[in-house]
Amino acid sequence: MQKPAIQTNHILEDVRYEIRGELAQRAVQMERQGYEIISLNIGNPGLFGYRTPETMRLAMIENLGQSEAYCHQKGIFPAREAVVMQQQDRGVMDVTADDVFMGNGVSECIDFVLRALFNSGDEMLVPSPDYPLWSAAVALNYGTPVYYNCRPENAFQPDPDEIRHLISPRTRGIVLINPNNPTGAVYPRDLLEEIVRIAEQHQIIVFADEIYDQMLYGDIEHVPLATLVQDTLCATFNGLSKIYRACGYRVGWVSFSGDRENATDYLHAVELLASLRLCANVPGQWAVQTALGGFQSIRELTNPGGRLYESRNAVIEGVRQSKYLQLHAPDGAMYAFPRVDTDLIPGFQDQQFALELLEKRHVLIAPGSSFNVPYSDHFRITTLPDAREMEVVFERMEEVLDLLAP
């Protein structure tokens, strides 16, 4: 007698994370067969030789003896106080250590702040394209993602009028990813001010994903949303993974500012959920104070001559030399989101291209449709490889695009 299949939770039908989906699994199979894969699907600095600053490693090692017990559910005090000091340096003066929650990466923080917020059918405004964890976390917590478009023809900037029209009585908050993943767009102050005014008018929470806040190129300015939000609640997310190249430490945080007086029950609910998981990884938290208060080595990487700066330039140049590709140059983060000219390759599909590129030229990318967009002519790559490897990547891309062209 055949056993019945174990059923899965139906809510997973609305969850996508193709960055580590079938293409990535196929890449692992190919590596086991002996192929060398250039993996551009994930922003994982350690994979490309970027090291966590030595001072952070030493801070963690020196405090291992204090890391064997559970800590407070919000995190160790020195880490939370370091986040407060950073926020105050940026002009956010109303944050205390009690307003900061440490998590096992930003991913965990996103999960418990949404779980504390949503009832079934509640809505969250999410950018399109988005980092798909946000859409997934909304769906997993019984919310509904409602997408506001950041269109390629508008340099991937949001449209405040569209945001205004999408707000409904069920809207609980708006997510802004700035600098943006996957596009690298950075939002100007006047645009952010207008979006904040809309959020305050409708009393929805502003969720500011600012994990790439110091990864900027040229004279681009990043404006922390918490400096603009006064009359509603603002939740700012950050961590050690990107700016400090410490993905494996799994240390992220969320800090609350703005109108907390009317959010007392909600913040108690967030603390309840933080308590249920006991605490975040303790050893990694000891690196936070050193990271935020010490020398900011990311600037050596993003300034002219720095590795990230030169890799970004190699991406821009690779697109410029291509017959098929177009690009809004990223102003921040560690990604680029090129478009394929469908006039030259009619019927182009990002999934097919990604598979062909992996199978024939051993380069792994993320199809643009993975980021909750209504089009299939883009793809995302990380800019972490060095400039020479980027040149190789674009040579291989051009070969595959030549095969797809009529």
Which residue in 149, 227, 224, 218 sits closest to 183, CA to CA?
Answer: 149
Specify the pLDDT at position 1.
Answer: 75
CA distance linking residue 255 with residue 4, whole number of Å: 46
CA distance linking residue 367 with residue 344, whole number of Å: 19
What token pair was written down for 65?
Answer: 């003896």
Q: Which long-range contacts (CB under 8 A, 24 or more apart) does 162-168 make?
A: 163/125, 163/195, 163/198, 164/198, 166/125, 167/125, 167/198, 167/202, 167/204, 168/123
CA distance linking residue 49 with residue 109, whole number of Å: 27
- 225 SS3 class: helix
Specify the pLDDT at position 12.
Answer: 73
Looking at 200-354, which runs of residues are DSSP E strands?
A: 205-209, 233-239, 252-258, 325-326, 335-336, 339-340
Specify the pLDDT at position 313.
Answer: 97
Q: What pLDDT, in 10s, does the model give residues 69-119? A: 999 999 999 999 999 999 999 999 989 999 999 999 999 999 999 999 999
Query: Which residue(s) pair with 127 in the sheet?
Result: 148
What token pair was written down for 132?
Answer: 């798909």
| 213 in Cβ contact with 224 (< 8 Å) | yes
CA distance linking residue 390 with residue 315, whole number of Å: 7
Specify the pLDDT at position 242.
Answer: 96
Domains present along the chain, CATH in parentheses: 10-51+300-404 (3.90.1150.10), 54-293 (3.40.640.10)
CA distance linking residue 332 with residue 180, whole number of Å: 7
- Please name the residues in contact with 93: beta carbons below 8 A apart, sequence gap of 6 or more: none
Q: What pLDDT, in 10s, does the model give residues 262-295? A: 999 999 999 999 999 999 999 999 999 999 998 8
Beta strands 233-239; 205-209: pairing state: parallel
Specify the pLDDT at position 113.
Answer: 97
Specify the pLDDT at position 9.
Answer: 78
| 405 in Cβ contact with 337 (< 8 Å) | no
Instruction: Report CA torsion sign: 191, 196, 202, 205.
Output: positive
| 383 in Cβ contact with 334 (< 8 Å) | yes
Specify the pLDDT at position 338.
Answer: 98
- Provide block-wise average pLDDT over 10 residues at a time, the chain (406 residues): 80 72 90 95 92 95 93 96 96 94 96 96 96 94 96 97 97 98 97 98 98 96 97 98 95 97 95 95 96 92 96 97 97 97 95 95 95 96 96 97 93
